[in-house]
A and B are shown apart, each in its own frame.
Chain A
Amino acid sequence: GESVGLHLPTLSVQEGDNSIINCAYSNSASDYFIWYKQESGKGPQFIIDIRSNMDKRQGQRVTVLLNKTVKHLSLQIAATQPGDSAVYFCAEINTGGFKTIFGAGTRLFVKA
């Protein structure tokens, strides 16, 4: 069946530290992945994506790493800020390209 991500874990980091959020996926045929950020009371918001022909992609303060061998994704946030506190979801797009399959999410707490 379809399965992306783990049960909702929580990560607590000090402001200014780097954060790493991990995600496992099960479909080895998946070739496009997205990280979403969901702040309290809001809908998910696109952060960064990566295709399977890449191992790493960088955005502003965020980096996504993809390890296809072990079917693992990670989102790295540099110099974490209080505004980064949210639930982060990894997601994959299905083979047909018309459906997003979300993982269970990770809650990030940033301590001031």
Chain B
Amino acid sequence: DTAVSQTPKYLVTQMGNDKSIKCEQNLGHDTMYWYKQDSKKFLKIMFSYNNKELIINETVPNRFSPKSPDKAHLNLHINSLELGDSAVYFCASSPSGNLRSETQYFGPGTRLLVL
């Protein structure tokens, strides 16, 4: 009965490959997010979607493409992986996206290592 789940938990791949990370939430929330956490634990927003519509698109390379097939899923596809993409990627969700009045719920993270 995990609220926000991500697959895979670990991903080790070679530079130049293309990979996808999946996220699903069973909370009935309208808004989902992708964050990147680097090796120094710094956590930064990458994207957010509200009911399948892109809301936030931070300065992220075009190699990163989020896709939301429905409001319970937000996947992250990464093309031509680079060494600097190695990080932990967290998915999160919140009821409506108004973060002044609601809590975000985070998934367990996907640990990506690019060799």
CA distance A104 to B104 in the complex (A): 18
CB contacts under 8 Å to A, within B66-102, are: 90, 92, 97-101
Say whether chain B's binding surface is mostly helix, strand, loop, or mixed.
Answer: loop
- Which chain B residues numbered 2 to 52 have a C-beta less than 8 Å away from chain A? 4, 40-45, 48
Flag A37-63 by CB within 8 Å of B: 1 or 0 each. Answer: 010011111100000000000000000
Contacts of B44 in A (CB 8 A): 102
Interface segment among A19-27, A64-72, A92-100: the answer is A92-100
User: Within 8 Å of chain B (Cβ to Cβ): is A89?
Assistant: yes
Q: Point out which of A7, A42, A44, A93 has the most chain B C-beta atoms below 10 A from its C-beta.
A: A44
Contact of A97 among B45, B98, B106, B107 (CB under 8 A): B98
Partner of B103 from the list A7, A32, A46, A102 (CB cut-off 8 Å) is: A46
Q: What 7 A-B pairs are tightest by C-beta distance, nearest first?
A: A43-B106, A102-B43, A97-B100, A93-B99, A105-B41, A46-B103, A44-B106
Would you list 25 pairs from A and B whose C-beta atoms are within 8 A, ordered by A residue? A8-B40, A8-B42, A42-B108, A42-B109, A43-B90, A43-B92, A43-B107, A43-B108, A44-B106, A45-B106, A46-B104, A87-B41, A98-B55, A98-B56, A98-B99, A99-B45, A99-B48, A99-B56, A99-B99, A100-B104, A101-B45, A102-B43, A104-B40, A105-B43, A107-B41
